Amino acid sequence: MKHLLLTIVLLIGISGFAQQTVRISRGYFIGKDYLDMSDSERRAYVTGEINGMLVAPFFGAPEERLQWLKSCTSNMSDEQTAAIVTAYINEQPSRLNESLNVLSFSALRTACQKPVKN
């Protein structure tokens, strides 16, 4: 009986670790704020967003989890990356009150997963 009880407690503990969720801070801006920015502010914001994601290993993120971002954006200009985020937010007006840091990540992730057209 003691072994059964110990096993149940261990399984509950393990399942708790397996079901951890990631909580993302709201950040400083929402989607509407981004659309209110000038073109140069948008380019600066997205450049900062990408730079911020690239230092994620300082906070314990595995380097290999960033490969998609590095390979996708390495040859893009700030105008291109800002255009990706702008288009993504414009295509989803119901998300204008969501956190800009999450919207920007989603925009880049979506764009980087699309096959390259020749």
Supply the pLDDT for residue 101.
94
pLDDT tens for 92-114 read: 999 999 999 999 999 999 999 97
Supply the pLDDT for residue 55.
92
pTM of the full structure: 0.76
Supply the pLDDT for residue 3.
47
Half-sphere exposure (Cβ direction) of 16: Cα atoms closer than 13 Å: 6
Cα 61–Cα 103–Cα 48 angle in degrees, nearest 5? 60
Give the residue with greater pLDDT, 51 vs 118. Answer: 51
pLDDT tens for 26-83 read: 789 999 999 999 999 999 999 999 999 999 988 888 888 899 999 999 999 999 999 9
CB-based burial of residue 27 (10 Å sphere; 0-12 exposed, 13-18 middle, 19+ buried)?
middle
| Domain limits, the chain | 27-113
